Amino acid sequence: MIILSIETSCDETAVSVIEAVGTFPTARYEILGNALYSQIDIHREYGGVFPALAKREHVATIVPMLEKALHEAMLPHDYTPALTTEERDHVQTLLAREPGLADQLLRFIDDHGRPPITTIAVTTGPGLEPALWVGVNVAKALAYLTGATVISTDHMEGHIYASLYKQGALQPLTFPALALLVSGGHTELIVLRDWNTYEKIGSTRDDAVGEAFDKVARLLGLPYPGGPEISRLAMEARTRSLPQYAKLPLPMLHSPDYDFSFSGLKTAVRNATQGKTLSHDEACALARDFEDVAVGVLVAKVEKALNELGCTHLIIGGGVAANQHLRSELTNLSHPHRFPDLTIYLPETTLATDNSVMIALAGHAHAADAVDAATFANERANGTKSL
């Protein structure tokens, strides 16, 4: 099965072509083409992601990404039959809300032919609504023009598969398995009862942990996205053993559930910085103090869940999974005196933040749910889905 996957849920425009040989979950995967454009430089100027701006950038870059991924994949092109007037008109209708995109896509098909793809996996949620629609509408148009079926794919589920993917295959899982999903929009603890069977046992009551990293970075005058910046300063503070700058609260540490809360922590950082100009060393120390607490709470809740649920497989997914301190603290959980049987799956760094390879993998997991273009268009007429 050749899967074309599309991801436009936030500020990455990504398209991949993946070949799956065999059936899920034991298939072998080959990444034939992979194109990703990050809008981060544009959003950095504004200190965060603006949905309308994200949509504009997706519209401008999705056809070039499609072209790059298909070119890398070197699939044989089908130049015939030429597009009919009826097809052109219908594509214009499907992409009416994305100015100029229908013309770009039609020109691409005129120049390169209809791509020989049989299946399209596209992120349909969660994410920024105007951004998601760009990918969804391109998927609709491509499915209509090629006869490919479409699989509606959950972004967070994609992060789970990104972590399970190693050298062309998914790692085996023992159920129940535990997943910690940490990104700019989500902080969730999920139990996998079986493949594709999820139970959310905890989530944040306010800010997501990635959002807290981004907001704290802004308080320290650091650019967006703040996670890598905070992480860099915190690492310097640890290397140089800088003294504590602020004693910050460990939010929800002792709550009896698996929920999180990060907005109080962000407020505590704001209070610690208000009216002050921090020296470089003070900023490093505060970044470390914040990271210690944020990571400490995540690890404590994971530990509680491992103890109470008896899971031996732990999956960490989402952009914050790129955080080195979180990775090493979680890896410490498998110490012989703590959870000696624990297997931890972390994403390769390139698959930690948003990408479309993970969408192809999650799509393949739901290949049986693929629908034709017309059914997909009806299903997606309103709203997006989430795990």
- Name the one range near ligand KG4 by CB under 6 A: 94-102, 208-216, 252-260, 327-335: 208-216
Q: How far is CA 259 from the centre of its chain?
A: 21
Q: Which of 24, 161, 165, 213 binds ligand KG4 (CB under 6 A)?
A: 213
CB-based burial, 279-295: b 16+ in 10 Å, e otherwise: eeebbbbbbbbbbbbbb
* Position among 158, 225, 251, 347 found at the interface with ligand KG4 (CB under 6 A): 225
Max Cα distance, the chain (Å): 70
Which does residue 104 touch among ligand KG4, Zn ion, none (CB within 5 to 8 A, set by kind)? none
Q: For residues 330-369, which are near Zn ion according to CB under 5 A?
A: 354
Query: What 3-state DSSP class applies to 17?
Result: strand
Binding residue for ligand KG4, selected from 231, 273, 356, 384, defined by CB under 6 A = 231
Compute the least distance from the CB of residue 143 to ligand KG4, in Å.
25
Site string for ligand KG4, 316-355 (x = CB under 6 A): --xxx-xx-----------------------------xx-
Considering the complex, state which of residue 83 and residue 300 has its C-beta at the smaller distance from ligand KG4: 300
Residues 4-33, one symbol each (x = binds ligand KG4 by CB under 6 A, - = not), give ------x-----------------------
> Is residue 384 a contact point for ligand KG4 (CB under 6 A)?
no
34 is an interface residue for ligand KG4 by CB under 6 A: no
Spatial CA neighbour of 221 closest among 164, 176, 286: 286
Using CB under 5 A as the binding rule, the residues of this chain from 179 to 208 that contact Zn ion are 183
The residues near 47 (Cβ < 8 Å, ≥ 6 apart) are: 218, 223, 224
Secondary structure of residue 203 in the 3-state scheme: strand
Query: Looking at beta carbons only, is 233 or 373 nearer to ligand KG4?
Result: 233
- 323's contact among ligand KG4, Zn ion, none, with CB below 5 to 8 A by partner kind, is ligand KG4
Place of tokens 């490093």: 284
Q: How many residues comprise the chain? A: 387
185 binds ligand KG4 (CB under 6 A): yes
* Total binding residues toward Zn ion, as defined by CB under 5 A: 2
214 binds, among ligand KG4, Zn ion, none (CB under 5 to 8 A by kind): ligand KG4
Beta strand pairing call for 119-125 and 149-154? parallel
Piece of 116-124, 178-186, 239-247, 278-286 that binds ligand KG4 (CB under 6 A): 178-186
Query: Which partner in ligand KG4, Zn ion, none is near 356 (CB below 5 to 8 A by kind)?
Result: none
Q: Say if CB 33 and CB 72 are below 8 A apart.
A: yes
214 CA to centre of own chain: 16
Q: Would you say 123 and 13 are in contact if contact means Cβ atoms under 8 Å apart? A: no
> Pick from 322, 305, 323, 325: which is nearest to 314 by CA?
305
Going by the DSSP 8-state scheme, the letter that residue 175 receives in this structure is S
Whether residue 317 contacts residue 181, with contact meaning beta carbons closer than 8 Å, is answered with: yes
Run of H or E including 12: strand 12-21
Q: Name the residues that contact Zn ion, by CB under 5 A.
A: 183, 354
Q: Name the residues that contact ligand KG4, by CB under 6 A.
A: 10, 183-185, 210-211, 213-214, 225-228, 231, 318-320, 322-323, 353-354
